[in-house]
């Protein structure tokens, strides 16, 4: 054997007696079969049946198992982004002639996917009032196949009546999917919304942007889909295989590395965000603080129902909230406030170590009225892991310069 050939056909075998708590990182496109007969025998739908790297490796299956545990599900599937998780649920479960219902405060690209691709493929969409179970009930028809829930809603942070909406979907026999990025499997259990009655009420599927808390580093894009239902898991896995949307082991390794600290980081960012949200509520420049854990915020009572318990008397919430600046300020002033923050950087995403700020024009992102919101410019603040006093001082200095 020539030496270059030897570099490829080396005697390496995966170690079997190397016992470390950290999982190995397995990278492969090809998986070798011992015989032609074994190719037909191997079942790629099972997590032991490795056939091709795209369909899963020991590394991806390990993360899938841990995420299923975190979210209280049974099956989990990794995809290349949180948005891909949303898209896979839509593509795997909807057919021509079906209708999907989205809350008006859904994650923007979910609405865009529905308006463009789904619409082109003959799948219609209706938006419902995220604060009204009655409005959702009114819109469910014989064509409704899937209802999306988001708790809380994107940017405006209204916490919906998750119990009422999940119960309604169950009664009407409609699939119910939740974007679980905010709760991250920590703030509440999407598959057991009534913890005192296990199995009584939950959503059918969750999508999770691992890009946020599970990564925690601001350096990975990944998403997951979790369900307890075997039939849905099967449909998703088949669509996933046909779309070719596997994830790379190096990215999975980063999420596996971060996952043991997700609970600590979530709690630290929650505490810091609530402290800053309360401080913002006292500032004369701020007309309204949109954080579901704050009394008076839209949907606070719904948040209390699912996120507070005897074990969590303070409840849990992600470290993200929005403020509505007083309507007397101009758009230029709002933008200057954002530009001149120094700890808070202008950018999308959240759940990483660095605090972020983003500005939104409400009339551009909502179709329905928002009577529960005060008029004014909306600014979203995502709290990282910096010292809270530094973040407060940063908000104060830019408010004093631009919002007086």
Give the residues lining the site for ligand PLP (CB under 6 A). Answer: 81-83, 107, 154, 179, 181, 209, 211-212, 221, 223, 349
- At which residue do the structure tokens 């808390």 appear? 213
For the beta carbon of residue 103, count every other beta carbon within 10 angstroms: 29
The DSSP-derived string for 256-307 is: HHHGGGHHHHHHHHHHHHHHHHHHHHT-TTEEEEE-TTSTTSTTHHHHHHHH
Q: Please report how close the Cβ of residue 218 comes to ligand PLP at its closest, in angstroms.
A: 11
165-199 burial, b if ≥16 CB within 10 A, otherwise e? Answer: bbbbbeeeebbbbbbbbbbbbbbbbbbbbbeeeee
| 60 vs 398 by CB, closer to ligand PLP | 60
| 107 vs 128 by CB, closer to ligand PLP | 107
| 207 vs 289 by CB, closer to ligand PLP | 207
Q: Please report how close the Cβ of residue 381 comes to ligand PLP at its closest, in angstroms.
A: 14
| 83 vs 175 by CB, closer to ligand PLP | 83
Q: Please report how close the Cβ of residue 221 comes to ligand PLP at its closest, in angstroms.
A: 5
Q: Please report how close the Cβ of residue 92 comes to ligand PLP at its closest, in angstroms.
A: 17
CA nearest 269: which of 358, 338, 354, 188? 354
The DSSP-derived string for 147-201 is: EEEESS-TTT-PPP-HHHHHHHHHHHT-EEEEE-TTTTTTSS-TT-SSTTSTTSS
Q: Please report how close the Cβ of residue 387 comes to ligand PLP at its closest, in angstroms.
A: 25
Q: Please report how close the Cβ of residue 99 comes to ligand PLP at its closest, in angstroms.
A: 21
Please check whether residue 105 is in contact with residue 132, taking contact to mean a CB–CB distance below 8 angstroms: no
Please check whether residue 207 is in contact with residue 93, taking contact to mean a CB–CB distance below 8 angstroms: no
Cα(170)–Cα(232) distance, rounded to whole angstroms?
Answer: 15
Q: Please report how close the Cβ of residue 223 comes to ligand PLP at its closest, in angstroms.
A: 5
| 140 vs 203 by CB, closer to ligand PLP | 203
| 85 vs 285 by CB, closer to ligand PLP | 85
- H/E stretch holding 336 reads helix 331-339
Q: Please report how close the Cβ of residue 207 comes to ligand PLP at its closest, in angstroms.
A: 7
Q: Environment class of residue 371 by beta-carbon count within 10 Å: exposed (0-12), middle (13-18) or buried (19+)?
A: exposed
Residue number, nearest CB to ligand PLP: 82
Q: How many residues does the chain have?
A: 404
| 189 vs 398 by CB, closer to ligand PLP | 189
CA nearest 152: which of 286, 304, 258? 304
| 329 vs 344 by CB, closer to ligand PLP | 344
């Amino acid at each position: 054997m020539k030496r270059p050939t030897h570099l490829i056909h080396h005697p390496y075998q995966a170690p079997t007696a190397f016992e470390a708590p950290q999982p190995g990182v397995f990278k492969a496109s090809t998986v070798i079969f011992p015989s032609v007969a074994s190719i037909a025998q191997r079942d790629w739908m099972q997590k032991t049946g490795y056939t091709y790297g795209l369909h899963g490796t020991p590394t991806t299956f390990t993360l899938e198992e841990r995420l299923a545990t975190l979210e209280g599900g049974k099956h989990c599937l990794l995809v290349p982004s949180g948005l891909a998780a949303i898209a896979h649920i839509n593509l795997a479960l909807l057919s021509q002639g079906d209708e999907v219902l989205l809350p008006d405060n859904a994650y923007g690209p979910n609405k865009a996917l529905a308006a463009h691709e789904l619409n082109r493929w003959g799948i219609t969409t209706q938006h419902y009032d995220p604060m009204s179970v009655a409005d959702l009930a009114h819109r469910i028809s014989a064509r409704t196949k899937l209802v999306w829930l988001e708790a809380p809603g994107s940017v405006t942070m209204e916490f919906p009546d998750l119990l009422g909406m999940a119960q309604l979907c169950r009664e009407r026999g409609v699939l119910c999917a939740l974007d679980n990025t905010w709760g991250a499997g920590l703030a509440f259990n999407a598959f057991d919304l009534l913890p005192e009655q296990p199995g009584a009420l939950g959503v059918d599927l969750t999508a999770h942007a691992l890009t946020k808390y599970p990564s925690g580093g601001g350096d990975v894009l990944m998403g997951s889909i979790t369900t307890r239902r075997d039939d849905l898991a099967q449909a998703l896995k088949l669509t996933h295989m046909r779309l070719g949307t596997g994830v790379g082991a190096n990215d999975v390794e980063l999420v596996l590395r971060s996952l043991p600290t997700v609970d600590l980081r979530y709690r630290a960012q929650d505490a810091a965000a609530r402290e800053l949200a309360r401080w913002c509520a006292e500032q004369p420049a701020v007309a309204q603080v949109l954080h579901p854990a704050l009394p008076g915020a839209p949907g606070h009572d719904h948040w209390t129902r699912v996120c507070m318990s005897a074990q969590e008397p303070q409840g849990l919430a992600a470290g993200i909230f929005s403020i509505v600046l007083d309507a007397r300020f101009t758009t230029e002033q709002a933008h200057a406030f954002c530009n001149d923050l120094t700890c808070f950087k202008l950018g999308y995403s959240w759940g990483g170590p660095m605090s972020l700020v983003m500005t939104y024009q409400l009339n551009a992102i909502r179709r329905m009225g928002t009577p529960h919101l005060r008029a004014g410019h909306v600014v979203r603040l995502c709290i990282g892991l910096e010292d809270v006093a530094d973040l407060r001082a940063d908000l104060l200095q830019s408010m004093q310069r631009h919002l007086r």
